[in-house]
Structure 1
């Protein structure tokens, strides 16, 4: 039975009892909802017995203010309704919980700092599709997994008590927060106790990804040679094999701490290290001296050593591509967007946080150093690579993912390579948000929520 989008009307105190739900008589007849028996009303983890009363010429639902308060529902909320006859359940929802790293209660206009615009866009998108969304942080998680203190948007932002959601979307931007015992316990409890879905439930590290999908023959052609960096012998072997190699922190992000190693004439080696203000260059007379300088860093940071690639350039600056790949209304992977990222003048990495600039794929390819006969095929190659890699990571790594940011490179021959897979793609890399506009990436999150929750 398909769900129906309805408006919830909350009655003034004293008009309705908390165990009464008023529904339009047309819907009652259409769905054959019994009015002589108590039914179970469900909203996320919330359960309550109600008696349904029909009302002519009404296509919404009316409930008491007391019942709405227990559910955390706001006035004039747009929700979807399903009747499940086999369990005599009226299900309102779906309920989507967004787990964020921090909030700023002292600033009710922008309670999530830079993420507030993204959250407001989610609220608008949810309202249009009849999804109820709330936002919470690890600090809002209490002793009971069945109830969360979270932020909702009605007439401005406010905090209230809410049931565990049907679907949770993990937007934590810190591994430390994600690994907190309270967060891990909460994720486990809501999944096992309430059947909640929790997507993007974990960070990925570079070694984990390359080792996992390296076993999949369908994506091996996209993988540059890559290993967990362990010792001098490995450095020597890789530097003998490739003129350029990269050391990448396996838990790194935003291009921070990446080291580019290249051979110079006469047996010397050069390192370029990505830093906040630019690139730090150092020269070593031999590989032994270079390894000695790395040894201190290796005690604090684990690195992936990776084959260097001869990337296409725009205006003598390297270019890579960020594909956003998401699951859709059918639970299938599809490519939502691909953008080109051109490195800043003082950097060899293309991240926006390191001075990189965005471009359309079409424009970057047209301006690139690619041979003319190769240019026309690159866009479709990037799209196929992104989908192949997303499906492989999803199949090979035992966790629930709903979206990936996949960083791809194109060599001067036109070959596409994988650089990195990110399970927490930035929401600042996309196009600016116009007033009332919903980006396809946000719409896709809502559609996947509806797929998971059965609405």
Structure 2
């Protein structure tokens, strides 16, 4: 039986694991009812296509004072005085004919150098015919000016971004190890439902206290972003594992 590769399906697969679920933002299928309920509960949510890539069609909605709504789409921010006007704009900018999810917004730590939010990309891969998952690459994606998503990003080594953020003062000695353990657990969990996939790109957000939040697990991640690191060794390793074998 074919299993959907959409964000909603992967979210529900991961949520059934008690340890992984601690790091997942609350997520629902987007309807008018679920949108306003989630905004009332969290004040800030993200709307995204369940099947989509490269950040296309992703929208951030925040509840402001006096029940007005701020909508951040790409590098544009607009404020609407009521639900009706906010919803009209959302329906105008969302991708047509796409099933959307609404997700609790995870606050992102920001770097001092760029003063912009960042996410972590963790690559978990395994060779053909091998059951062993390996962390092959990791980096920080720093959002471009005016954007809240990191698909349009500056790339930095993961430790450099953490050291240049408020996370550093709250970091535990095991943070990076905890991230890697979580990534391997996610890969093992998803493998049960997607046994043919050997490359998983995990997007992770850290808040200022260093809490780990899973944004998304990509089954067909692009590895191009790793070539922008000055040290190409990690990119070479990721390429080798994507190939799946050593000739």
Q: Assess same fold via TM > 0.5.
A: yes
In 1, Cα distance between equivalents of 2:157 and 2:164: 11
1:417 is displaced (CA, Å) by 0.9
Q: Deviations over 1:46-67 (max 9, x none)?
A: xxxxxxxxxxxxxxxxxxxxxx
Give the alignment of 1:17-416 within 5 angstroms: 204-229=5-30, 231-274=31-74, 279-295=75-91, 297=94, 300-315=97-112, 316-328=115-127, 330-351=130-151, 354=152, 356-370=153-167, 372-374=169-171, 376-395=173-192, 397-416=193-212
In 2, Cα distance between equivalents of 1:383 and 1:258: 27
**Matched positions, count:** 240
Q: In the alignment, is residue 423 of structure 1 matched against residue 224 of structure 2?
A: no
In 1, Cα distance between equivalents of 2:47 and 2:73: 9
The alignment's TM-score, normalised by the length of structure 1, stands at 0.49
- Classify the secondary structure of the residue corresponding to 2:19: coil
Give the gaps of 5 or more residues in structure 2. none
Q: Residues 339, 298 of structure 1: CA spacing in aligned structure 2 closer, same or farther, 3 A cutoff?
A: closer
The structure with the larger Rg is 1
The alignment's TM-score, normalised by the length of structure 2, stands at 0.87
In 1, Cα distance between equivalents of 2:209 and 2:182: 16
In 1, Cα distance between equivalents of 2:69 and 2:216: 25
Q: Residues 202, 211 of structure 1: CA spacing in aligned structure 2 closer, same or farther, 3 A cutoff?
A: closer
User: Are the aligned partners of 2:26 and 2:103 in contact in 1 as well (CA < 8 Å)?
Assistant: yes
Q: In the alignment, is residue 443 of structure 1 matched against residue 243 of structure 2?
A: no
User: Are the aligned partners of 1:324 and 1:337 in contact in 2 as well (CA < 8 Å)?
Assistant: yes
Give the gaps of 5 or more residues in structure 1. 1-200
C-alpha RMSD over aligned residues? 2.6
User: Are the aligned partners of 1:222 and 1:385 in contact in 2 as well (CA < 8 Å)?
Assistant: no
Q: Which has the higher strand share?
A: 1
- Classify the secondary structure of the residue corresponding to 1:237: helix
- Classify the secondary structure of the residue corresponding to 2:8: helix
